[in-house]
Structure 1
Amino acid sequence: MFQKKIINRAVVSVVAASALSAHSALTQAQMLEEVIVTATKKSESMQDVAIAVQAMSGQALREQNVTNFEDYVAQLPSVNMGGRGPGQNEVYIRGAAVDAINITVAESQGSAPNVAMYLDEQPITAGGRNLDVYISDMERIEVLPGPQGTLYGASSQAGTVRLITNKPNVAEFEGNVSAEYSQTAKGEDSSKVEAMINIPLIDNKLAIRGAFYSDNRGGYIDNVAGTFQANENVNIAFPGSSVFYPEGTVFANGTTVGAGGVTIPVIKEVASNSALVEDDFNDVSYAGARLGVKYYINDDWSALAQFTTQTLKTDGVFDYDPEKGDLNVSRFSEDSLEDTFDQAAWTLEGRLGDLDVIYTGAYLEREVHAKIDYTGYTNIGKFIAGYQCEYLVGSYYHGLSNGYTTAYTWDPTIRGNTGVIECSTPVNSAKIDNEQTRFTSELRVSGDINDRTTFLAGVYYEDSEILHIGNFNYGAPIANGWAPIDINSSSTFDNSEANARGLVTDATQFRNDNTRTEEQIAFFGEIAFDITEQLSLAVSARYYDLEYGFTGYGAWRYGNQPLFIDDADPTNDIRPALTGGREYEVNFAELQPLKTDDTITKVTLSYEATPDILLYATMSEGYRPGGFNRAAAQKGGQYSASANNLTDTGLQCGTDVAINSNAATGFPGYCLPYVFESDTVENLEFGWKATLQDGLLRINGTVYWIDWKDIQVSQFDSQNISVLTVVDNGGDAEIQGMEVDFAWALTENLTIYGAASYNDTELTSVDPGFAIVVQDEGNPLPLTPEFQGNLRARYTWTMAAGMDAYWQLSGKYADEALNSIVDTPEEPNTYQDSYAIFNGSVGLNSPDGWGAELYVRNLSDERAELHINRQDFIERTTTNRPRTIGLRIKYEF
């Protein structure tokens, strides 16, 4: 039924476009701008390349005031995102989505993204934190939906997004500067300044170009007064209002419970965020520069070198709590982010005989420093009550040997008032520090084999490393004098390749300290053959060999509570000093490095029906590499190929770790794999590209069918599976859809632009072992509206004195969508509401280069539910910026 409906829609679109071609032609000057793309690794008109590509030219980016990740995703018909704000998002194409991983562990236990992000020729993809490059002095943005793995590699499983910068122009001196000021409803003011200058140093030979920007955006979310208290009804690990101890119970201080037993009340401290209350606390700033130099060595060869630097800073959060009111949230510790990157890139391009040769390389350094309120962990952590309340572990941790019987349970005598069980502050925080380096190098050769056959061949090499430290600081242990972790106190960590050895200076009670490495070499190529003057066949393939390494440790102080430090007898004070945890280099020794190698292919048949209409069909494959599950490296959990593990219910896990059932929660048991496998995509699509009405109308579209196998799904379930996030292959899905975009010069003054997508997604099977986490078969995939589309009208005219004027109106609509593939009793998935957002602007441009624009973004002040997330274990909604009115002034020379 769906296939018939979607094909009918495609046919109707083409027929309608053909009918429109009867419309009388306008002047040559009104023809649509030709968009040149490099989707196939060579420059071609977008209308001549037999591949689905959606491109936003530099002119379109300026007209729509696109400056960051959220802005350009909103303009693309089959692209969506999930995440928590600037620098903390992931992108999804054609419905191949699951959910954004918790940002505190994205570098430590995140899947690789399934959409590749490129800055010019270098992939800048990062799980949970796609590089949020500011859109300044950009030539265009290209989106290549569907698997693009043959030319673009591992993370191009569902598509590729390419940010392509303007390069130095050796023929012309040019520059521009712009300033902007805006006001946001219920928020703070914003301002930005941008500048560009291009200087030919040697005419038609050597030029330099610089782009500079500073964008400061005021906040619009309020951190309102609130309280937080541990609740045993939310987290069953906590005691209730009292605990009963039977006769004969011996407390840690030697006291024995008498006849009839005793009931001890529980006091849970109530946290207040009064010191952090602030209106409009989610400020963000982008500041950066890009410098480039291009040199034409001779008529055949040129060299390009560019350096880009950027710092993104944010305060607060960009998701709000609807239960607190519109754009309100209550946060109990500092939220901030500083995300800095430097990229050096170089390209040597020329000809060797009849061959075109390109060598390109880049080196990226990125540092992320984030502070995150982690108080919500109190709602879900299996052992967090042991940090906050008077909880006594076994003598292994502290050496106490007085015959107590309260081991591994609550004991009111270990601190403070012996007549109550005290649970201290539930406020927690996380501090994340990442250092990422990425070196890439690619050599491509292309040319003609004969009059009908062309080829492209290349080799790609990548070496990347992420050094990750995640410090989790629980407020109660800090207040009660616990020592921080010290990995030097335990032989468990003797072999750890750690980024932060030695005594920890802050009061960290849990730490992830990991190194992730990837080394990849790939060979790729494409041959295109003209079967006839109109019919062509292109076949491409990529062989890749990827090695992934994971070392470091996870360490914690669980069970090291100071004992008796506040009674009248200082001689019995006990301050435990033992650090426990897991060491990954040893426990994954047999599996290191994790190797993945394979060959993927793509076949495209294209037919030039007329000089203005191109039809094509493509079969393609994509993949995403697998990885390690830190949670499998339990104490004594070194991987063994000969293991035959069983759960308590007899579930055979083999080499996987056997996780026992939990009667209290109804958990049936689980086999936790040391390694989660690659997931793969197979895609079939039919597309068309039509330029009609003598170049006044462009309409492109694609119909596609996608099989997604072994979907990687992440989940944190400390009550049942592990105190660490796990990733497993959750099941299979099918996606059927259509995307259409058009541009139409309707009159000499009015141009209409539009794009839309329709996606019918279904989870077709669920792995029985992970059905405890994944939603039921038959449900749609998350973060994918069934229909979404955008429409833009731009009207221009010439006024007196040669002034050019314009107005523009645009809007986007998106259907409702699920928020996550995860669906558990504790974290049920839910639907995000449909939304519509409208923007408008009016402006003037003078003949001498001056221009001014007055704009309104989000005219109706819509609260779009962009992503309902539980990243802090409390449900919150990432939304768009409220209605914003601004003035932009520019000068071009």
Structure 2
Amino acid sequence: MAPSVLAMLVAGTTAAIAQEKDESVAAPVPESSIGDIVVTAQRRAESAQKVPLSITVLGAGQIEREGYRSFQDYAVRVPNLSFSQGGSSIGGLGQAISLRGIYGTNTTGVYLDETPLPGSVDPQVVDLERIEVLRGPQGTLYGARSMGGTVRLITRQPDVNEFSGSAHGIISSTRHGGANGTIDGSLNIPIVAETLAIRAFAFGDYQSGVFTRIPSADAPTQYSPRDNLGASRRYGGAIAARLQLLDNAISITPRVIIQRSRTNAQPYADLVAGNFVQKRLFDLDDKGTDDWNLFSLTSRYGADFGEFVSVTSQFNRDASDSENASEAISGLLGFTTPSLFRGSSRARTFVQEFRFTSAFDGPLQVTFGAFYQKSNILTQIPSNIIDGVGDFYNYRSRNRTTEKAVYGEANLSLTDKLQLIAGLRYFRNIVSLSVSQGGVAVGSGAGTFNEVQRESGFNPKFGVKYALTPSVNLFANAAKGFRIGGANAYSENLCAADRQALGISADAARSYRSDSVWSYEAGIKSSFFNNRLVVNATGFHVNWSNIQQSVALACGFSIDQNGGRARSDGFELEVQASPAKGLTLGTGVGYTDARITDPGALAIVTAGARIQQVPRWNLTASADYRFAIGAVPLAFHGDVSHVGSSLSRSNLLTGRIRPAYDLANLRLGTDFERFNLTFFIENVFDKIANLADVPPLALEDPNRPRIAAGRPRTMGIDMRAKF
């Protein structure tokens, strides 16, 4: 990872620190206070402490102070946010996200600025203004895929007045692995003062592999061991422009963001998370890629009575994966043979949204909008040719989805303290699915299958907010959220008997509807002692209906069906305190009890069963202390996180337990205004987390589940310079 560049950055940072020491310009230790953050969770700029919903905000200072680089770095710091490795091997760098126990594909929305992204996308954490995690259904303002909540990544915008930039580098070493390196930088250039600016950033990241592959006892050839497997490389960047006209009444911001990811082998442990040795029959090249581009254009017009916004975006993603399935296929065929499955996915998504947010003089404020999204996803597994067998399996599917919606939300202040909220979204969706498959593995199930699903409906929201004092706000919400339905494509001739045995009609098997939740929450947001103590708490109850469930048919196909109900109960508590000068303490507690209440006619799982991938408890605590030794200001940060045990049904219907795990991180470094040098230890006690048993491209070897494992202890130096 460009060691010469990192070395120059170290030298430059050290020289800058020495200069600041010589000139005695060290920043003073700040007074104890917890700063408020302005968010746009409700599509208008508001104090996070005033927004009447449960929200965790991670500001730019915290992102830099705690060293976040990817989703998994900050996910454990958010109460009632859980995650697992993604539901498909293709694009294996992704993840599946759950909020408040609502788990499954497309249950949590992910936004990069104003653009929705697939939940499996993990943008590198670079040049962000903040991260907002909105818990509870966001079906009115954010639509489908937000029935558990929404994660928003807000980037820094071009500044038309001030030139600025940054350089950042990390050198580290990982136990069981080797050297890692990260480098990134940003630059903001005003072209025409108060009118035009350009902002850009670029990054490169290398994480060493921690796995070693060796021949299994029954391998036909004793090949040489291979180290550093599971190593990953990421690189990319962005460039944006901002044009401001008519005293900033009009702003136009085009932006291009790209990210490229490479893994040199499947980064999964056998049987248990701490096993870093992969025993294989054959040494096959099972690498993967995940590349995406986001093109967006955001235009705003601000009038005295409100703001008009137009957001246009195009998201392109190409992912590929390969999987050594020799053990499973050899067991199936009865003789030893190499088998490498390859899969690819090509996604193209266009989004257009228009929105008006009022700034009326008076007690009523409104937000109105219209939304359109069209996506086209092509997934392929090319022919897997096996000697003596021929084409074992091939697969191709194309999923086209069109989503249209109009929405509105109104806030009415009845008094200076009491505010009522009501919202409604109307949606209309069309899903078209075409699948073809062949090969000896499916026999008479080969062929092409097509289906179309259409659906429309409403999502309401009701809320109330009461300002008990200027610094204590109470709120309550009742809201509906939904997840888009879809179509099934399967062999009716081959699977008719299996379908009938389960009591599923031919018409019902062709598609499945959206499932939905009704959520009820009540909370308090409060600050005391001149903002030196902040306490926020929310309790919730969620009813989940018509749950989308995957039904495995004995013929080898699987179909999605609606059935059953679930409920989720729990709370979030977040506390921040500054008890002394330079000292800030924080803690977060999330509790979720999410269970099936009615298994439905299919009875795939039993009543009382836990929702998979959802821990009951997740806890986090942190301490930040800023102090000085002589003229050198220093900063200490420490945090611990606990994630409770959960159940995974990714490969086994009866489920596998994901054990609880604890993580601890320490950081100590200089705290100059423009130059920082920090020493860090991540995963201090070297606890290897089980992040899921990952579904394979082919079929799972029942004697060897593949575990997505957390990263071992990593130690290094983090350097940052701003100008």
What is the TM-score when the length of structure 2 is the normalising length?
0.90
C-alpha distance in 1, partners of 2:272/2:531?
52
Change (3 A) 1:426 1:676: farther
CA contact (8 A) 1:273 1:330 kept: no
CA contact (8 A) 2:480 2:518 kept: yes
Q: 1:171 aligns with which of 161, 172, 175?
A: 161
In structure 2, the residue matched to 1:315 is 264
In structure 1, the residue matched to 2:681 is 856
CA contact (8 A) 2:32 2:583 kept: no
Alignment partner of 1:605 is 2:464:
yes
Paired residue secondary structure (1:70): helix
C-alpha distance in 2, partners of 1:273/1:135?
43
Percent identity over the alignment is 23
In structure 2, the residue matched to 1:242 is none
CA contact (8 A) 1:775 1:821 kept: no
One-letter code of the match for 1:200?
A: P
C-alpha distance in 2, partners of 1:539/1:559?
52
Paired residue secondary structure (1:87): coil
In structure 2, the residue matched to 1:634 is 492
CA contact (8 A) 2:433 2:488 kept: no
Change (3 A) 1:453 1:324: closer
C-alpha distance in 1, partners of 2:562/2:222?
43
In structure 2, the residue matched to 1:463 is 374
Paired residue secondary structure (1:630): coil
Q: CA deviation at 1:167?
A: 0.8
Alignment partner of 1:330 is 2:283:
no
CA contact (8 A) 2:214 2:223 kept: no
Change (3 A) 1:156 1:652: closer
Q: Can you list the C-alpha shifts for 1:380-414, whole angstroms capped at 9, x where unaligned?
A: xxxx84xx3xxxxxxxxxxxxxxxxxxxxxxxxxx
Q: 2:250 aligns with which of 301, 311, 314?
A: 301
CA contact (8 A) 1:512 1:555 kept: yes
CA contact (8 A) 1:557 1:580 kept: no
Change (3 A) 1:650 1:619: closer
CA contact (8 A) 1:753 1:792 kept: yes
Q: CA deviation at 1:463?
A: 1.1
In structure 2, the residue matched to 1:114 is 107
Change (3 A) 1:346 1:154: same
In structure 2, the residue matched to 1:675 is 511
CA contact (8 A) 1:429 1:472 kept: no
One-letter code of the match for 1:435?
A: R
C-alpha distance in 2, partners of 1:72/1:56?
9
CA contact (8 A) 1:301 1:348 kept: yes
In structure 2, the residue matched to 1:480 is 388
CA contact (8 A) 1:646 1:654 kept: no
Alignment partner of 1:91 is 2:2:
no
Q: Can you list the C-alpha shifts for 1:483-528, whole angstroms capped at 9, x where unaligned?
A: x4xxxxxxxxxxxxxxxxxxxxxxxx32221211111111001011
CA contact (8 A) 1:218 1:280 kept: yes
**Structure richer in strand, relative to its length:** 2
Paired residue secondary structure (1:330): strand
In structure 2, the residue matched to 1:581 is 446
CA contact (8 A) 1:582 1:634 kept: no
One-letter code of the match for 1:81?
A: F
Alignment partner of 1:812 is 2:641:
yes
In structure 1, the residue matched to 2:342 is 431
Aligned length, in residue pairs: 683
In structure 2, the residue matched to 1:262 is none
Change (3 A) 1:651 1:724: closer
CA contact (8 A) 2:498 2:555 kept: no
Q: Can you list the C-alpha shifts for 1:806-849, whole angstroms capped at 9, x where unaligned?
A: 1111100122211228864xxx31322221111001001345x3
Change (3 A) 1:804 1:450: same
Q: 2:211 aligns with which of 221, 224, 229?
A: 221
CA contact (8 A) 1:271 1:427 kept: no
C-alpha distance in 1, partners of 2:509/2:500?
18
Alignment partner of 1:346 is 2:211:
no
CA contact (8 A) 1:775 1:822 kept: no
C-alpha distance in 1, partners of 2:325/2:166?
44
In structure 2, the residue matched to 1:186 is 176
Paired residue secondary structure (2:530): helix
In structure 2, the residue matched to 1:743 is 576
One-letter code of the match for 2:387?
A: A
CA contact (8 A) 2:596 2:611 kept: yes
Change (3 A) 1:370 1:823: closer
Q: Show the 5 A alignment for 1:713-752.
A: 713-714=549-550, 717=552, 721-752=554-585
Change (3 A) 1:364 1:821: closer
Alignment partner of 1:518 is 2:401:
yes
Paired residue secondary structure (2:226): coil
Paired residue secondary structure (1:279): strand
One-letter code of the match for 1:31?
A: S
CA contact (8 A) 2:375 2:401 kept: yes
Q: Can you list the C-alpha shifts for 1:547-605, whole angstroms capped at 9, x where unaligned?
A: 11112412224599xxxxxxxxxxxxxxxxxx9722123xx3xxx3x111101111110
Change (3 A) 1:746 1:426: farther
Greater mean deviation of Cα atoms: 550-559 or 740-749: 550-559
C-alpha distance in 1, partners of 2:113/2:273?
43
CA contact (8 A) 2:393 2:442 kept: no
Q: 2:421 aligns with which of 517, 525, 538?
A: 538
CA contact (8 A) 1:170 1:206 kept: yes
In structure 2, the residue matched to 1:378 is 329
Q: Can you list the C-alpha shifts for 1:663-692, whole angstroms capped at 9, x where unaligned?
A: xxxxxxxxx722122211110000111121
Alignment partner of 1:198 is 2:188:
yes
In structure 2, the residue matched to 1:699 is 535
Change (3 A) 1:681 1:466: same
C-alpha distance in 1, partners of 2:501/2:580?
73
In structure 2, the residue matched to 1:288 is 236
Q: 2:659 aligns with which of 798, 818, 833?
A: 833
Change (3 A) 1:714 1:172: same
CA contact (8 A) 1:581 1:635 kept: no
In structure 2, the residue matched to 1:248 is none
Q: CA deviation at 1:649?
A: 8.6
Q: Can you list the C-alpha shifts for 1:638-662, whole angstroms capped at 9, x where unaligned?
A: xxxxxxx777997754435xxxxxx
Paired residue secondary structure (2:239): strand
Change (3 A) 1:376 1:819: farther
In structure 1, the residue matched to 2:352 is 441
Paired residue secondary structure (1:860): coil
Greater mean deviation of Cα atoms: 529-538 or 367-376: 367-376
Alignment partner of 1:355 is 2:238:
no
In structure 2, the residue matched to 1:655 is 506
C-alpha distance in 2, partners of 1:546/1:434?
22
One-letter code of the match for 2:363?
A: R
One-letter code of the match for 2:449?
A: Y
Change (3 A) 1:208 1:449: closer
One-letter code of the match for 2:39?
A: V
C-alpha distance in 2, partners of 1:648/1:780?
26
C-alpha distance in 2, partners of 1:458/1:479?
58
CA contact (8 A) 1:322 1:328 kept: no
Q: Show the 5 A alignment for 1:487-566.
A: 509-557=392-440
What is the TM-score when the length of structure 1 is the normalising length?
0.73
Q: CA deviation at 1:278?
A: 1.6
Q: 2:52 aligns with which of 50, 53, 65?
A: 50
In structure 1, the residue matched to 2:12 is none
Change (3 A) 1:376 1:768: farther
Q: CA deviation at 1:377?
A: 4.2
Paired residue secondary structure (1:701): strand
Q: 1:686 aligns with which of 500, 516, 522?
A: 522
Q: 1:761 aligns with which of 578, 594, 598?
A: 594
Structure of greater Rg: 1
Q: CA deviation at 1:273?
A: 7.4
In structure 2, the residue matched to 1:109 is none
Paired residue secondary structure (1:780): coil
Change (3 A) 1:204 1:798: farther
Change (3 A) 1:323 1:201: closer
